[in-house]
Amino acid sequence: MNGYEKTGVLSLNDIRVPSENQLRKGVAIIECVQEIPCNPCAAICPVNAISMKDINSIPIVDFDKCTGCGKCVSICPGLAIFVVKTVDNSKALVTLPYEFLPIPKTGDKVKALNRWGEICGDAEVVRVNMLGKTTVVTIRVDKKLAMEVRNIRV
Ligand code: SF4
Ligand code: SF4
């Protein structure tokens, strides 16, 4: 049994982690680990960076092809895709799906939450987009949190 099957929460051991270089350009991190019939992420990607053997397969991102555009973030019904981009030696941008109210505004200071829903640091909202039905929020966080922050508390 995988760790997340016991806890219900993914860890870095359960997902593919990009290289430092790939993170510098900004890439999609897909945290979808169960074989379910779903594929809008692969269908919407403009550069065919997401591959699936069939509709039940787990999606795999080609980090070298991915441009970090974020279209897959808003289309995923499982809220399982994030875009992570490191911007310098100390900060990173994390783009995440957000379906709670109130919708944050650019410039808001919010709490960064880890995969367990625990506060793990502070974040600043730098962009809010409605690309589809789901609001997509980009936050600036400490670089060390880039692969840990997966939600915010407004
Ligand atoms: S972020 Fe854009 S380019 Fe990257 S996998 Fe998603 S849709 Fe494709
Ligand atoms: S759209 Fe989301 S839930 Fe569906 S396969 Fe892609 S990552 Fe998984």
Read off the pLDDT of residues 2-24 as tens digits, 9 standing for 90 and up. Answer: 778 889 999 999 999 999 999 99
- Best residue among 23, 27, 47 to mutate for probing ligand 1's pocket (most ligand atoms within 8 Å of CB) is 47
Counted domains in the chain: 1
Say if 32 falls within a structural domain: yes
Say if 53 falls within a structural domain: yes
Q: Is residue 132's pLDDT more than 80?
A: no
Give Cα separations from 54 to 19, 38, 61, 71, 131 (angstroms).
26, 9, 14, 21, 26
Say if 119 falls within a structural domain: yes
Average per-residue pLDDT for the chain: 95
Say if 80 falls within a structural domain: yes
pLDDT tens, residue by residue, 64-89: 999 999 999 999 999 999 999 999 99
pLDDT band at 146 (very low <50, low <70, confident <90, very high): very high
Q: Is residue 58's pLDDT more than 90?
A: yes
Residue 90 is part of which domain span?
18-153
Say if 90 falls within a structural domain: yes
Q: Is 72 in the pocket of ligand 1 (CB under 6 A)?
A: yes
Say if 5 falls within a structural domain: no
User: How remote is the CA of residue 131 from the centroid of ligand 2, in Å?
Assistant: 16
Say if 11 falls within a structural domain: no
Say if 10 falls within a structural domain: no
Which residues does residue 98 pair with via DSSP β-bridges, in sequence order?
135
Residues 6+ apart with CB under 8 A from 70: 28, 83, 95, 129, 131, 136
